[in-house]
Amino acid sequence: MATAPPDAQAQARANIADFRLSVDGQDFSDKAKPRLVSLTLTDERAGEADQLDIVLDDSDGKLALPKKGAQITLQLGWKQGMDVTPGLIDKGKFTVDQVDWGGPADQVTIRARSADLTGSFRKRREDKHKDTTLGDLARKVAGRNGLTAKVSPELEDIEIKVLSQHQKSDMALLRQLGREHDAVATVKDGKLLLTPIGKSQSAGGKALPTLELAKAQLAGYRYNETERSGEAGVEARWHDQASGTRKTVTIGGGSDAKGKPRRMRRVYHTEAKARAAAEAEAKRAKRAEATLDLTLGLGRPDLIPEQPVKVSGLKSTIDEQSWLIASLTHTLDSSGLATRIKLEVKG
């Protein structure tokens, strides 16, 4: 058999990115691919909606504008390549909430947010949750939004005496619960997730594999170390109704700690809520002591937030640390498919 010419061999080894789009159930890929200027997907860990931005060329004026509320599904990955794993990764459903058109050169910009966190989830509500648990509350919120709740055992039985939901959406309530308990509180794949940050579990409850990255795999990297503001501890105040006085709980710190404890602004109704809030804030302060931003020139749409990461070939301080993915940004344009990873200390 004759050997393929060098240029054909190089073409066969070339890393070629790919994607598939559908709009309201109709495949839109063939129309989008020759017009694609850029596609950017931001994948969040917290209770924020994932965001999809698509910019398409409309220099011929023949591109119809999608309607607000249209449903987009996205698959992203690689068509071929020697250094990548071919195949498309399902990245979920998105609801169009903004469409822009302008020029020159004429372009259409479509912004969509994860469908699970739109509609009824963003509607303001009046509700009061009394004598319940965090797990039961999660199931209540999930049920009225057509979702399934997945709550970690560590959070399941936390008592909630009373929690007012005054003109607050379920999305905002979920974000509040996540912050108060230092938890991943979000919706993915039709599931409302509530699990401690650092648990590193998928939506199905399976342990996420550790991603190992060497310096040679990185197109860019930036490490940042901040003042250790949580070293002296965190204190939270609560109102003791029996005595009519304010009291304080302190988490962390110690006799040899430098500086004063970080005081939280809010005054809580019970000692238990004040303690939980202080513990959550202390964990956040620990993770924020250092951050690491990485860019992969060969994108990895299979990665997800909360995945543990180990790096090698950077500074020893960085290599020895355990990291967690806090957010991901995948970008597909004329340069190919790249992934930016924001990491924080696992703690």
Q: pLDDT tens digits for 200-240? A: 877 667 889 999 999 999 999 999 988 665 567 889 998 88
Instruction: Over range 178-183, report the average pLDDT.
Output: 90
Candidate CATH numbers 3.55.40.20, 3.10.20.30, 2.40.30.150, 3.90.79.10; the one for domain 211-226+289-345: 2.40.30.150
* Domain boundaries, given as residue ranges, for the chain: 6-115, 119-196, 211-226+289-345, 234-283
Q: What is the maximum alpha-carbon separation in the chain?
A: 92
The secondary element (H helix, E strand) that includes residue 329 is strand 323-333
Q: Integer distance in angstroms from the first to the last C-alpha of the chain?
A: 58
Q: Which of 213, 227, 193, 230 is nearest to 306 (CA)?
A: 193
What is the arithmetic mean of pLDDT over 49-65?
A: 93
Question: Among all chains, which residue has been given the structure tokens 């992934």?
Answer: 339
* Cis peptide bond upstream of 104, omega within 30: yes
What percent of the chain shows pLDDT beyond 70? Answer: 92
**The CATH number of domain 6-115, selected from 2.70.50.30, 3.40.630.30, 2.30.300.10, 1.10.1060.10:** 2.30.300.10
Superfamily of domain 119-196 in the CATH hierarchy: Baseplate protein-like domains (3.55.50.10)
Local confidence band at 261 (pLDDT 50, 70, 90 cut-offs): confident
Q: pTM here?
A: 0.87
DSSP state of 334: T
pLDDT digits (tens, 9 = 90+) for 289-338: 899 999 999 999 999 999 999 999 999 999 999 999 999 999 999 999 99
Q: What stretches of the chain show up as alpha helix (H) in DSSP? A: 6-13, 29-32, 134-143, 153-156, 170-180, 271-287, 316-319
Helices 170-180 & 134-143 angle (0-180, nearest 10): 160
Confidence of residue 255 (pLDDT cuts 50, 70, 90): low
Look at 62-71, 260-269, 337-346 and tell me which has the smallest mean pLDDT. 260-269
Q: What DSSP string runs through 1-16?
A: -PPPPHHHHHHHH--E
Q: State how far the Cα of 184 lies from the Cα of 187, in Å rounded to an integer.
A: 9
Q: Mean pLDDT over residues 249-272, rounded? A: 80
Q: What is the pLDDT of residue 236?
A: 92
The answer to whether the 119-196 and 211-226+289-345 domains have the same CATH topology is no
